[in-house]
Structure 1
Amino acid sequence: MEPPKYEELLRQVRELLEKGLIQESLSPCALYAHPKKCSFLTSKVAFLGFIVSAQGIAADPEKALKYLHSQQKLSERRARRGNVLNVMKMMVLGFETIRDGYDSCPDFSPIIAEATRGLSPDYKDYVLTDGYLFFKNRLCVPRTSLHDFLTWECHAGGRSGHFGRDKTITAVECQFYWPSLKRDVGNIVA
């Protein structure tokens, strides 16, 4: 503010205070500006995911990219769950019975019981899809002989020969989950 205008403003404020028409603020927050929330001498302002400028209102490219990226990750996760289920249904005879194993499995029965009521924040990484339980993008496998089958399939399946212990753990862990996976796969391969 220019000095003459500032002096005039102070004079008017003093006059209004003396007349009792205004009073000093008692709020501890009354004369401060939050630097992150204030913009001065700028031609555009980011507000609620938009850019406001003299040209009008446009989507904030940074927010738009973050949103698109999150949607892409979400669709990838969904597609991967579907792919895992389709491959397993073709590879494993009677694979659908895995859904029945969750209720009696000590590792997953509490989570399945919770899922029927809606998953709590304690189980935020779990998703129930078509009756199959997933931990993040990995299919949860209850305690059955399927653990051994999946381990051997990842260890010696295909034409690539036998993987070592660590590569086999990584291959199984990439698509499947159970709490003792690393120990179990290590014991089977060793």
Structure 2
Amino acid sequence: MSGPYSTRPVFLIGFMGAGKTSAGKALARRLNWKFFDLDDLIEQYEQASVAVIFSRVGESGFRQIESAVLRQLLEMNHQNSVIALGGGTFVQSQNRDLLSQAGAITVLLDAPVEELARRCEVEGGGRPLAQDKEKFNQLFASRREAYELARFRIQTAGKTVENVAAEIEELLMGLTPEAGETS
């Protein structure tokens, strides 16, 4: 699908359980764009799951790998793409700088921490940072300030994946192709 909006890549950010991957896939289908999940790309690059990478190199090592893979992705100039970032990607200032320099459109998918915790429980394991509820809440609080730096924000609580994707598409339709500015 083409439209009056920018063709620059759209990066979905937010805490674990916000719906970045699900809404990203739905949005890409609606727009007939490509979809990438940064965690999937990291797993392909490292030939290991995120959980295994975390256990092998720790969070700081993982963040270095994440930044390197994000940089490679941005260098490939993925116009007409929707990219779901990991929950901690946008928190790292060097990653925000990379996205800003690339003129990326960043959209925060937001929901109350209780809703996010419930979604993560329903999805099951595989999230190394979601295992402890108290740490989960602390991590959510510590990331809020960085998340607020996203260009746009969509509330996902109580909405279907398709509704969230439609809201993002509507938001994009208000952008001009040249600058990605709201008209």
The TM-score range, normalised by the shorter chain, is under 0.3
Larger radius of gyration: 1
Task: Provide TM-score, normalisation by structure 1.
Answer: 0.19
